[in-house]
Amino acid sequence: MSMKGWFYAQMEGIVQALEQLGTDDFIFWYEATTPIATAPGLPTIDLTKKYGEDRVRYSGLDEMWYAGATLGAALVGSIAIDWHDMYMANPYPFEIVSQHAAKLHHMTGGQATIPAVWVIHISGQGPGLAGQHSDYEADSWYAHVPGVRTVIPSTVYDAKGLMITAVKSKDPFVYLNGSAFRALSDDIPDTPYEVPIGKAAVRTRGSDLTIVSSGQGMLAAMEGAQKLQGDGISVETIDLRCLNPMDTETLVKSAKKTGRVLTVDQSKYTLCPGAEVIARIAEFTDGVKFKRIAFPDAPPPGAPEMFNYMKPNGTHVYEAAKALLRK
Amino acid sequence: MSMKGWFYAQMEGIVQALEQLGTDDFIFWYEATTPIATAPGLPTIDLTKKYGEDRVRYSGLDEMWYAGATLGAALVGSIAIDWHDMYMANPYPFEIVSQHAAKLHHMTGGQATIPAVWVIHISGQGPGLAGQHSDYEADSWYAHVPGVRTVIPSTVYDAKGLMITAVKSKDPFVYLNGSAFRALSDDIPDTPYEVPIGKAAVRTRGSDLTIVSSGQGMLAAMEGAQKLQGDGISVETIDLRCLNPMDTETLVKSAKKTGRVLTVDQSKYTLCPGAEVIARIAEFTDGVKFKRIAFPDAPPPGAPEMFNYMKPNGTHVYEAAKALLRK
Amino acid sequence: MSDTIEKTVEEVKAEGKGFISRRNFLKGLGVTGASVALFTTGTRLLATPEQEPVSKIPLERDIYWPERLTREQLIEMQRKMLQIRWYDRTVADKMLTEKGFRGYMHGSPGHEACAVGACFALNKDDWMAGYHRSHHHAIAKGANIRKMAAEIIFKASGTNNGYGGSMHIMQADVGMLGEDGVVGPGCCYGAGAGHALRARGKGQVALTFGGDAHATTPYFHISLNEAATHKIPWVYVIENNQYLDARGQHISECINVDDIAIMATAYNIPGVVVDGMDVLDVYNAVKAAVERARAGRGPTLIECKTYRYYDHFGVRGAEPGKLGSFGLGYRSDRELLSWLARDPIDKHRKTLVQTGMLTEREADALEEEVKAEIRDAFRWAEAQPVPRAEDGLRHVFVEEESVLPRMLADCPPWKTYA
Amino acid sequence: MSDTIEKTVEEVKAEGKGFISRRNFLKGLGVTGASVALFTTGTRLLATPEQEPVSKIPLERDIYWPERLTREQLIEMQRKMLQIRWYDRTVADKMLTEKGFRGYMHGSPGHEACAVGACFALNKDDWMAGYHRSHHHAIAKGANIRKMAAEIIFKASGTNNGYGGSMHIMQADVGMLGEDGVVGPGCCYGAGAGHALRARGKGQVALTFGGDAHATTPYFHISLNEAATHKIPWVYVIENNQYLDARGQHISECINVDDIAIMATAYNIPGVVVDGMDVLDVYNAVKAAVERARAGRGPTLIECKTYRYYDHFGVRGAEPGKLGSFGLGYRSDRELLSWLARDPIDKHRKTLVQTGMLTEREADALEEEVKAEIRDAFRWAEAQPVPRAEDGLRHVFVEEESVLPRMLADCPPWKTYA
Ligand SMILES: Cc1ncc(C[n+]2csc(CCOP(=O)(O)OP(=O)(O)O)c2C)c(N)n1
Ligand SMILES: Cc1ncc(C[n+]2csc(CCOP(=O)(O)OP(=O)(O)O)c2C)c(N)n1
Ligand SMILES: [Mg+2]
Ligand SMILES: [Mg+2]
């Protein structure tokens, strides 16, 4: 165990996954973030040094190019990562992921394998950047695409574990990387471990109410849960971690126990991940009461006054939970 | 009233909307479908002849180009239509629609207006074409984008009325155009009329069960409803018509009445429009029982044996409804 | 590689070497006049008889690569072209005559020399990405023809086990990355593949085939730009058959230059126009480009002027037992005839016969052999089983046996949690 | 328009006319030696002192457009450049010194001549699309500077009512389509706007500004290809400041040609390199391109060689009261100094003074006037109200007052249906 930042955990995950696979046949394209990670007292991880410039390539501004190049590298058998840290360009890889990466294994009757990860950063965090640069919608877009696993860590532990899972998998992954977590550190194992896909994490156990969220929504969810616990309410907080496949079982079991489910999303309301959560629970169990909060169906405005009002926060969660408990 | 085909109804809608607006300042880009529509006994509608080649432009194969050009034309004040009939290229306009068209009015504080319609064809209809050419996912992708209205007609009447609404609106629209409807004809008014956005249509009234669907899902939904009615079951069938904004009120009222809601989608299961339907109803009323059917989370395979098995049909709807009624 | 690569066309010309052409090669063999004069298509794009570099950076020209092919290889080229021709003619005839035949095609007859010339320049472990019209590419790269025949009628033992069909044939073990139903991206993942292959250090290269409309897509630019900047070992072969889809739009209505190859200027790489009806001409250029790529000198854009005998898709205007689609409206029959007169298979046959590599009889026998092989392949295909319905839920992931049948009332979790 | 447009550079040169240059113009005015010799940046991209067409189709060269500008217009150019300079210097200084200042910038100092030279070639009802670095474009096209100052600190009375900020300034009533936070698409909707304007038949044109990295994006190709093919009245002005973002990647690492303008060859349109530090040089080229576009002859690609004095974003390496960012690591201070020595505002001032249009005193006074104007603008801006929180839910649609606050426990439908 040692203290590691979000990025260090991810880079360590990549290196350890490749070590476990016993391969150096790895291609990594990046744009704004040089893949050099440091952590106090730990060796620096420098992907370029480790694997060479032919494998770890700074690729200018053209996200469409390296989204497609990632597919090509994977198709000929290399482990390929598209480190897509330009969130305003999130729709660019969409064609390649949805029409090719997600379909080729099936369309070729099982022949093509795509051991690739599109690490797609989502932001939506700070005010001031307005519509394009502070957006948070890509979670539902990618989660609606079958044939690709869409994961979204919210803890440093999961950031590493899901990266190892994604890199080691023969299947294509979309790994959604919330910019809010860049400053997060945590004490996590030094040895490699995987976070299983399709398994949600129960962050707090409780019996009065279930809160379900994912990605940056977890920040508000946890803040709200804490406030509620302060009021003596027993909250079960679930972090989806994996949007597709979604862990129906954990959701249904918790809902059956608490009878009340609040979903929290930083994504836009209509068809946010919480909609799928509610639909799954409602399909598979009866008598549960629901409430959903999310970013309104509007682009994020630049002015902090407006933006901060609209972005779901701990108080929103707290009040929605209270309302749901009164229901 | 006269008999009109799907395409004729849409072309008539465009022409009448422009007439009502009193403008010829109109730009239309198309690819595979020449905008010449005929109907027995009615005048031929030929957009190119009517508006000239500078306005009605065949634009080769480059969907990304004319998706963006449509935005530009609208920004300088022309009514602009992107007739995007290449469903395998549906992710191409996504960047322009989601990052620009949907955000610019808001991001400019109300200055930019975008009187544009991206008519995006979705297919998913026949077997044999496999993954890319017979896909049906774009409904949820676009419906999750705020700032743009996403409509999806399933009747000839709505095809015309929603087109008039979309063309006359100062706001950007995504008009999803199911390829299954191309052969549909119906007796519809010759005069212009609008279909209001955000209002679902109740196709059959009933009290035992609510079936909710949209677009091509309506084919299976109506077939199933008929079978159920044959069994003496009173079915309320709702056609969403507009995915965003979604008509919560109609959904909740019907669910309160019947207590049982079955959603039917040709879109992929996870985060299909039906998920939003269930979530909205479950949020705003209690005690309703739900069931959802959709295309599995898989690309559509080429072989008819496999494809026809997976595409939701009337029998699937019938059986799911029966199971729901037993619940 | 000689230094001439960095010289201009004029310099090389001035040195009086480098332009060893098909004509010279045949002359050396005592055969002249073998190349048929090229037909023009009005004021539209012209095919150029000799491989003239369009951009400022010429391809190396002092080797005429076909000279180094053995008799066996030259004959094998003919065999592959014949396989392609009869595979697609058979599909066409079946579409025309067999009710219930569930295959279809974007026919490749006319394009045989492009596919075979290019794929002969590749090693088996080099990778190739096709496009929507890729029956010829699959066969040229060595795909199993029986399995292809089974695939286009969606049989469980097809190349893709019936999941793909005509537009998506893939055969990984012969280095075929697959066809693509979406026009454009193949250059992007093709070049990405080339990037990965270089890193692997085994000297492999990647090649992408594209239609003329590729030049109008966004992927065209970004792939060429990046491949050139990073000297990726990748070759981009455009089969310019002059038309887009069944609407019959001519490529000259979609681009503002006469030759797509000139676009190479924007990337400072060789851009070459070749006669796509001459398998040796194609081979010569692609081989030079492949050598250049292998030597670490980056990509090349090669434009093959060619023609598709059938309609864009299917068999409109075709007759059983007859080659090509006539009366299509968007093109004149005369134009088609002028290209048929330059048929790549006839041309190569003439070369083989005139150079004494095959007698007329042997050439006939080769053709009969191929016809029988194709007949057999389709017979085998028809006898194959269709996929099981539930198998559509398989192969979504490598690591998951199958996904849930979400259209069913009794889909598992329903039972589990209810 | 004269016929020379269709001639080659060589022909025009041979005719000994057409190349009426800045130098000749000034010579005509009795001023020589006014243009400062250009600095080079090692082996990297060179700025060229004379506007040399790069593609085979030259722009019309027999009119030297700046000759036709009045004294007032030439002085107005200087005023606009000064406004841009002091607007951004003020933002920079505020970022450095005012705690809690909530504006930011992608600084445009260094680029003034590009924006002003180009926008002077446009009519008010011509449309212009900017990019992420567009303070200078907005001012050059005539946007309200007070409202701009308010916008970048998100005030309710800013150009965008506080919804946009520095990266998204739009002012429709002066024909500014807006900045864009996404690098690339501006050329696509700019050309689309041009297409619509032509159809409208009022002789309007559209112009898109882009950074050098535009040349690496998919939109670059498709827009130029379509605009060229359909002769859309559109001008594409690339401000090549040689660097991408704050990582400091040089454009030469992203493209394989020395001049982006050469890419025009792929579209058979004029591609021109101009000195982006010379407002008259920029004006001359853009004006010729605009005239060409208005006359129905299609688009032009113009590359302005320029430099940004500040860092990509913000004020790293800058000091209050001092122009430019030093010690950035990815570029040498010497390089920056060499460009500062060619400052477009100093240069044009010299021209104005040397040609007797302004005295030194008048030139000083002009500068003071502008400084005061900018100071005022920011004072006004600071006094403006901030937006109301709930207004974030407005302006999503023209036809809907506001959307629902879905983050609230008591969001209306909750109450309505419960
Ligand atoms: C992105 C995209 N747009 C449109 C289509 C429909 N389409 C299939 S092939 C084709 C024409 C392609 O022309 P070209 O590249 O010249 O190839 P050819 O068919 O002539 O071999 C079109 C428009 C498609 N498959 N993908
Ligand atoms: C599609 C996209 N990718 C990446 C970014 C991040 N980004 C903003 S500006 C910029 C560099 C642009 O360089 P250039 O076009 O040369 O313009 P300059 O900033 O030099 O004026 C980058 C990478 C973006 N905004 N949009
Ligand atoms: Mg073609
Ligand atoms: Mg730059």
Q: Does residue C393 sit within a domain?
A: no
Q: Looking at the structure, tell me whether residues B303 and B213 fall in a common domain.
A: yes
Which chain B residue has its CA at the smallest distance from D177's CA?
B75
Distance from CA of D261 to the nearest CA of C (A): 9
The ligand that comes nearest to the alpha carbon of residue C114 is 1
Cβ-defined contact of B130 to C245 (cutoff 8 Å): no
Q: Looking at the structure, tell me whether residues A131 and A19 fall in a common domain.
A: yes
Q: Does residue A195 sit within a domain?
A: no
- Ligand 2 atom with the smallest distance to the CA of A92 is 1
Specify the number of domains making up chain B: 2
Domain end call among B125, B158, B188: B188
Convert the pLDDT of each residue in A103-132 to its tens digit: 999 999 999 999 999 999 999 888 999 999
Q: Looking at the structure, tell me whether residues B260 and B112 fall in a common domain.
A: no
Q: Does residue A124 sit within a domain?
A: yes
Q: Looking at the structure, tell me whether residues D26 and D65 fall in a common domain.
A: no
pLDDT greater than 90 at residue A306: yes
Q: How many other CB atoms are found less than 10 A from the CB of residue D373?
A: 16
Smallest CA-to-CA distance from D131 within D46, D240, D5 is with D240
Q: Looking at the structure, tell me whether residues A109 and A181 fall in a common domain.
A: yes
Smallest CA-to-CA distance from A69 within A86, A81, A53 is with A81
d(CA C385, CA C155): 6
Q: Write out chain D's pLDDT in tens, 418 residues.
A: 333 333 333 443 343 333 345 555 555 454 433 332 232 222 222 233 344 567 767 777 678 999 999 999 999 999 999 999 999 999 999 999 999 999 999 999 999 999 999 999 999 999 999 999 999 999 999 999 999 999 999 999 999 999 999 999 999 999 999 999 999 999 999 999 999 999 999 999 999 999 999 999 999 999 999 999 999 999 999 999 999 998 899 999 999 999 999 999 999 999 999 999 999 999 999 999 999 999 999 999 999 999 999 999 999 999 999 999 999 999 999 999 999 999 999 999 999 999 999 999 999 999 999 999 999 999 999 999 999 999 999 999 999 999 999 999 988 765 556 4
Which residues from chain D sit within 8 angstroms of residue B21, using beta carbons? none
d(CA A272, CA B267): 16
d(CA A144, CA A16): 30
C172 touches A: beta carbon within 8 Å: yes
Smallest CA-to-CA distance from C66 within C129, C15, C126, C116 is with C116
Which chain C residue has its CA at the smallest distance from D262's CA?
C266
Q: Looking at the structure, tell me whether residues D81 and D14 fall in a common domain.
A: no
Instruction: Tell me how far CA of residue A324 lies from CA of A115, A209, A238, A259, A320, in angstroms.
Output: 43, 9, 17, 10, 6
d(CA D152, CA D136): 14
pLDDT value of residue C27: 54
pLDDT greater than 90 at residue C26: no
Cross-chain CB nearest to B294 (options C182, C183, C407): C407
- Ligand 1 atom with the smallest distance to the CA of C181 is 25
Domain that holds residue A106: 2-188
Specify the number of domains making up chain D: 2
D339, two tokens:
């460009």
Cross-chain CB nearest to A144 (options B270, B288, B327): B270
Those residues whose beta carbon sits under 5 angstroms from the ion ligand 4 are D 211-212, 241
Q: With a CB-CB cutoff of 8 Å, which residues 242-271 of chain B face chain D?
A: 248-249, 252
Q: Does residue B319 sit within a domain?
A: yes
Q: Does residue D26 sit within a domain?
A: yes
Q: Kindly give the residue spans of alpha helices, DSSP state H, lying in D271-359.
A: 279-294, 333-340, 344-354
Q: Does residue A193 sit within a domain?
A: no
Convert the pLDDT of each residue in B222-250 to its tens digit: 999 999 999 999 999 999 999 999 999 99
Q: Please state the φ and ψ torsions of residue B235, each to the nearest 5 degrees.
A: -110, 130
pLDDT greater than 50 at residue C308: yes
Q: Looking at the structure, tell me whether residues A173 and A230 fall in a common domain.
A: no
Q: Looking at the structure, tell me whether residues D83 and D30 fall in a common domain.
A: no
d(CA D119, CA D73): 12
Cβ-defined contact of D414 to A89 (cutoff 8 Å): no
Which residues from chain B sit within 8 angstroms of residue C167, using beta carbons? 129-130, 132-133
Convert the pLDDT of each residue in C164-173 to its tens digit: 999 999 999 9
| Residue C351 in contact with ligand 1 by CB distance below 6 A | no
Cβ-defined contact of A323 to D410 (cutoff 8 Å): yes
Which residues from chain D sit within 8 angstroms of residue A292, using beta carbons? 406
Q: Looking at the structure, tell me whether residues A39 and A172 fall in a common domain.
A: yes
Name the residue with tokens 């916008």: D151
Q: Please state the φ and ψ torsions of residue D291, each to the nearest 5 degrees.
A: -60, -45
Q: Does residue C51 sit within a domain?
A: no
Which residues from chain C sit within 8 angstroms of residue D266, using beta carbons? 257, 262-263, 265-266
Q: Looking at the structure, tell me whether residues C308 and C207 fall in a common domain.
A: yes
B147 touches D: beta carbon within 8 Å: yes
Cβ-defined contact of C414 to A283 (cutoff 8 Å): yes
Q: Looking at the structure, tell me whether residues D75 and D135 fall in a common domain.
A: yes
Cβ-defined contact of C165 to B132 (cutoff 8 Å): no
Q: Looking at the structure, tell me whether residues D27 and D126 fall in a common domain.
A: no
CATH of the domain at C235: 3.40.50.970
Q: Does residue B195 sit within a domain?
A: no
Which residues from chain B sit within 8 angstroms of residue C409, using beta carbons? 291, 293, 316, 319-320, 322-324
Q: Does residue D404 sit within a domain?
A: no
Q: Does residue D391 sit within a domain?
A: no
Could you tell me the distance, in angstroms and rounded to a whole number, from the CA of residue D243 to the centre of ligand 2? Answer: 9
For residue B56, the Cα-to-chain-centroid distance in whole angstroms is 23
Q: Looking at the structure, tell me whether residues D22 and D147 fall in a common domain.
A: no
Distance from CA of D323 to the nearest CA of A (A): 25
Q: Does residue A43 sit within a domain?
A: yes
Give the residue, out of B29, B59, B65, B86, with the most ligand 1 atoms within 8 A of its beta carbon, to mutate for a pocket test. B86
The ligand that comes nearest to the alpha carbon of residue C312 is 1
A295, two tokens:
């970013």
- Ligand 1 atom with the smallest distance to the CA of C212 is 16
**Do residues A176 and A150 make contact, with C-beta atoms less than 8 angstroms apart?**
yes
Residues with CB under 6 A from ligand 2: A 61, 63, 86, 88-89; D 132-133, 181-184, 211-214, 241, 243-245, 312
Q: Does residue C402 sit within a domain?
A: no
Distance from CA of C246 to the nearest CA of B (A): 9
Q: Does residue B193 sit within a domain?
A: no
Q: Looking at the structure, tell me whether residues C66 and C212 fall in a common domain.
A: yes
C348, two tokens:
């190569």
Instruction: Specify the pTM.
Output: 0.94
Q: Does residue A112 sit within a domain?
A: yes
Give CA angle at A255 (A253, A260), nearest 5°.
Answer: 165
A55 touches D: beta carbon within 8 Å: no
Which residues from chain A sit within 8 angstroms of residue B94, using beta carbons? 91, 94-95
Smallest CA-to-CA distance from A154 within A87, A223, A84, A254 is with A223
Residue A172: HSE in the Cβ half-sphere, 13 Å Cα cutoff: 34
Q: Does residue D47 sit within a domain?
A: no
Closest residue to atom 21 of ligand 1, CA basis = C211
Convert the pLDDT of each residue in C261-274 to its tens digit: 999 999 999 999 99
Domain end call among A144, A163, A188: A188
- Ligand 2 atom with the smallest distance to the CA of A32 is 23
B81, two tokens:
């239509």
Q: What is the maximum alpha-carbon separation in chain D?
A: 84
Q: Looking at the structure, tell me whether residues B177 and B59 fall in a common domain.
A: yes
Closest residue to atom 22 of ligand 1, CA basis = C245
State the catalytic residue, choosing from A105, A106, A133, A144: A133
Closest residue to atom 7 of ligand 2, CA basis = D245
Q: Does residue C170 sit within a domain?
A: yes
pLDDT value of residue A87: 86
Which chain B residue has its CA at the smallest distance from A286's CA?
B289
d(CA D125, CA C187): 41
| Interface residue of C205, C402, C417 to substitute, partner A, most A CBs within 10 Å | C417
d(CA C183, CA A213): 38
Domain that holds residue C12: 3-35
**Do residues C79 and C366 make contact, with C-beta atoms less than 8 angstroms apart?**
yes
Q: Looking at the structure, tell me whether residues B210 and B99 fall in a common domain.
A: no
Q: Looking at the structure, tell me whether residues D241 and D318 fall in a common domain.
A: yes
Q: Looking at the structure, tell me whether residues A263 and A144 fall in a common domain.
A: no
Q: Looking at the structure, tell me whether residues D16 and D137 fall in a common domain.
A: no
Q: Write out chain B's pLDDT in tens, 327 residues.
A: 999 999 999 999 999 999 999 999 999 999 989 999 999 999 999 999 999 999 999 988 999 999 999 999 999 999 999 999 988 888 899 999 999 999 999 999 999 999 999 999 999 888 999 999 988 999 999 999 999 999 999 999 999 999 999 999 999 999 999 999 999 999 999 999 999 999 999 999 999 999 999 999 999 999 999 999 999 999 999 999 999 999 999 999 999 999 999 999 999 999 999 999 999 999 999 999 999 999 999 999 999 999 999 999 999 999 999 999 998
Cβ-defined contact of D418 to B284 (cutoff 8 Å): yes
| Residue B67 in contact with ligand 1 by CB distance below 6 A | no
Q: Which residues of B are catalytic?
A: 133
Q: Looking at the structure, tell me whether residues C118 and C7 fall in a common domain.
A: no
C132, two tokens:
């929507």
Q: Looking at the structure, tell me whether residues A156 and A261 fall in a common domain.
A: no
Q: Please state the φ and ψ torsions of residue A314, each to the nearest 5 degrees.
A: -60, -35
Q: Looking at the structure, tell me whether residues A184 and A223 fall in a common domain.
A: no
Could you tell me the distance, in angstroms and rounded to a whole number, from the CA of residue C253 to the centre of ligand 1? Answer: 14
A24 touches C: beta carbon within 8 Å: no
Domain end call among B129, B157, B188: B188
Instruction: Tell me how far CA of residue C358 lies from CA of C36, C68, C117, D272, in angstroms.
Output: 20, 18, 19, 56
Cross-chain CB nearest to B283 (options A135, A145, A292): A292
ipTM summary value: 0.95
CATH of the domain at B97: 3.40.50.970
Which residues from chain D sit within 8 angstroms of residue A262, using beta carbons? none
CATH of the domain at B287: 3.40.50.920
Q: Looking at the structure, tell me whether residues D273 and D163 fall in a common domain.
A: yes
Cβ-defined contact of B88 to C182 (cutoff 8 Å): yes
Q: Looking at the structure, tell me whether residues A246 and A150 fall in a common domain.
A: no
**Do residues B197 and B245 make contact, with C-beta atoms less than 8 angstroms apart?**
yes
Q: Provide the angle, in degrees to the nearest 10, between the axes of the packed helices D145-152 and D71-97.
A: 20
Closest residue to atom 21 of ligand 2, CA basis = D211
Give the residue, out of B31, B61, B94, with the most ligand 1 atoms within 8 A of its beta carbon, to mutate for a pocket test. B61
Of the pLDDT bands very low, low, confident and very high (cuts 50, 70, 90), residue C102 is very high
pLDDT greater than 90 at residue C74: yes
